[in-house]
Copies of this chain bind each other. A is one copy, B any other.
Amino acid sequence: MATIKGVVISKQLVYDPTGARYIKIDIIEEKELPGPVAAFSTQDEQTAQLMREVMPLVTQIVRSLPFGGGKIAVPRVTLWLADDEAEMFGDVDVGDIVLIIIEGGEIRIKPES
C-alpha cells in the first residue's frame, strides 16, 4: 500500500467537441529537492574537517539558486469530471489536500477530511 499526499493546484473548466463541460483538476505532490550530497573521502582527517566546515556554506549557496533546493511540484493525478461527477466527488478547491491511496490493484482518490 502506498499513500501519496496530493495538493490540488488547478481547477479549470474545459469543453469537449460535443460541448459537454468538464472540471479539470490537477493534483501534484510536493517533493523536497535533495541538497548537495556531502560525499568526500574521510581518509584524510584534516581535509574531512575542512569539508565539514565548508558544507553548510555550500548548501546555503545552492539553496539560493533557482531549483537549487526547496520544493518542487511533481504531477500525480489529473481528473476531468462532469458536473454531476464533481458533485459526487465533493467540493475540492485549489490548495486542498487530496489523498491518493494505491492498494490491491486499485487507486483511491479522496479529499483529506
A: which residues have CB within 8 A of B? 1-2, 4, 16-18, 20, 22, 31, 33-34, 67, 72, 74-81, 84-85, 88-90, 102-111
Known contacts A77-B79, A80-B74, A90-B105: does B2 contact A85 (CB below 8 Å)? yes
| Contact of A34 with B17 in the complex, beta carbons under 8 Å | no
User: Shortest beta-carbon distance, A86 to chain B, in Å?
Assistant: 9
Main secondary structure of the interface of A (DSSP, over half): strand
| Contact of A110 with B105 in the complex, beta carbons under 8 Å | yes
A105 to B99, CA, bound (A): 12
List 12 A–B pairs whose Cβ atoms lie within 8 Å, in order of A's numbering: A1-B88, A2-B84, A76-B79, A78-B78, A79-B107, A88-B103, A88-B104, A88-B105, A105-B110, A107-B108, A107-B109, A107-B110
